[in-house]
Structure 1
Amino acid sequence: MTAAKANPARRPNGARAIADLVGKAMTPACKKRGFASVDIIASWADIVGERYGTRVQPDRLIWPRQPELTDPDRPPQPATLVVHTDGATALLLSHDSAQVIERINTFYGWAAIGRIKILQRPVLVKQPEPSKSLRALTRSEEQRLEERLEGVENDRLRQALKKLGAQVIARGAGEPA
């Protein structure tokens, strides 16, 4: 059996996907902070939404001590999520904490978080990269695109397809089929 068949993450030339290496390297650091995996940190912006995705940073989970459970099917007590944010965002987050907790618990699939503890500390706000402007289409490219869209009767659909086709052509991903 070859190395590629034995380990699907390994590629035939012996290279490994960077995501596999980073995830394994970060997992011990996350476990020290109470996170079972890097999933919540990696998906933070998607979980909490645009408002808090860049302005609030998860720090750690504090799990309560679990007494000897008589019922092993009973889930553990929910944890406290400690986050960092600035003063203004802390005020907003304190009002929206129930909704944020619900989103996080939906991500986990069970009531993992019971409350959020907010620490007011500066958070490095990551600025999104500006999108590159696309080149203008040549007259012949525009004509070919219009010819391909002649059979589309719905105006909104035609405009959407025209916009998509122009972006595909401008990025050099090929001509419309």
Structure 2
Amino acid sequence: MRARPGAKPLADLVGKAMTPACRKRGFASVDILAAWPDIVGERYGERVQPDRIIWPRRTGEDGEMTADPATLVVHTDGATALMLSHETRQLIERINTFYGWAAIGRIKITQKPVEVRRKPKPRALRSLTGEEEARLESQLETVANDRLREALKKLGAQVIARSGDDKV
């Protein structure tokens, strides 16, 4: 009997499905899009989005393709575009570090609205029952430091509320 292959991570399947669409926009793979917030940092992660990469179509003297750097087109709002224009050198360095070679030589900034991804609000935790509260208090009564005891009490209450049982 043949063994079934194990479960595959969703990221692997999505990456394979997205790669053809990314290639139409000049991206070799979905990797730079997935890592974009890490590459550009917290300041620009949500306010600047990569649109496409324009690769030059030049041939060398012998007819072979040359490895000239490409132009990355990003879009952002007007205020962020001004700030970003002063930091393009650093951004190019970060992107090229990600690729491992001098893939990007220029960044073209276009001003248009950016979809801001809203982080989902954390759901409200339930209140502890009297029994859960008493059990947590009894487990923390040996902690001498008041601040530490209060911090552990808050942590314990959240763990109990999320887990749904009273075992700590």
TM-score w.r.t. structure 1 length? 0.73
Residue 143 and residue 99 in structure 1: after superposition, are their counterparts in 2 closer, same or farther (change >3 A)?
A: farther
The residue that corresponds to 2:103 in the other structure is 112
> What's the C-alpha RMSD, in Å, of the aligned pairs?
3.1
Structure 2 residue 69 is matched with structure 1 residue 89: no
Structure 2 residue 54 is matched with structure 1 residue 41: no
| Identity percentage of aligned residues | 68
- 1:116-171 superposed Cα distances (whole Å, 9 cap, x missing partner): 11011122222222221222223332332233345556666555443332222111
Secondary structure of 1:133's aligned partner: coil
Structure 2 residue 59 is matched with structure 1 residue 57: no
Which of 131, 137, 150 is equivalent to 2:122? 131
The residue that corresponds to 1:23 in the other structure is 15
The residue that corresponds to 2:2 in the other structure is 2
| Structure possessing the higher radius of gyration over alpha carbons | 2
1:142-153 aligned within 5 A: 142-150=133-141
- 1:47-101 superposed Cα distances (whole Å, 9 cap, x missing partner): 222322222111111223464599xxxx943322100111111111112223322
Gap runs ≥5 in structure 1: none
Residues of 1 paired with 2:92 and 2:148: CA distance? Answer: 39
Gap runs ≥5 in structure 2: none
Tell me the number of residue pairs that the alignment of Structure 1 and Structure 2 aligns. Answer: 165
Residue 80 and residue 133 in structure 1: after superposition, are their counterparts in 2 closer, same or farther (change >3 A)?
A: same
Which of 87, 98, 112 is equivalent to 2:89? 98
The residue that corresponds to 1:80 in the other structure is 71
Secondary structure of 1:52's aligned partner: coil
The residue that corresponds to 2:157 in the other structure is 166
Residue 56 of structure 1 contacts residue 84 of structure 1 at CA under 8 Å; is this kept in 2? yes
Residues of 2 paired with 1:33 and 1:118: CA distance? Answer: 16
Q: Which moved more, 1:86-95 or 1:16-25?
A: 16-25
Q: Which moved more, 1:47-56 or 1:105-114?
A: 105-114
Residues of 1 paired with 2:41 and 2:167: CA distance? Answer: 35
TM-score w.r.t. structure 2 length? 0.77
Q: Which moved more, 1:158-167 or 1:51-60?
A: 158-167
Residue 160 and residue 97 in structure 1: after superposition, are their counterparts in 2 closer, same or farther (change >3 A)?
A: farther
Residues of 2 paired with 1:157 and 1:69: CA distance? Answer: 71
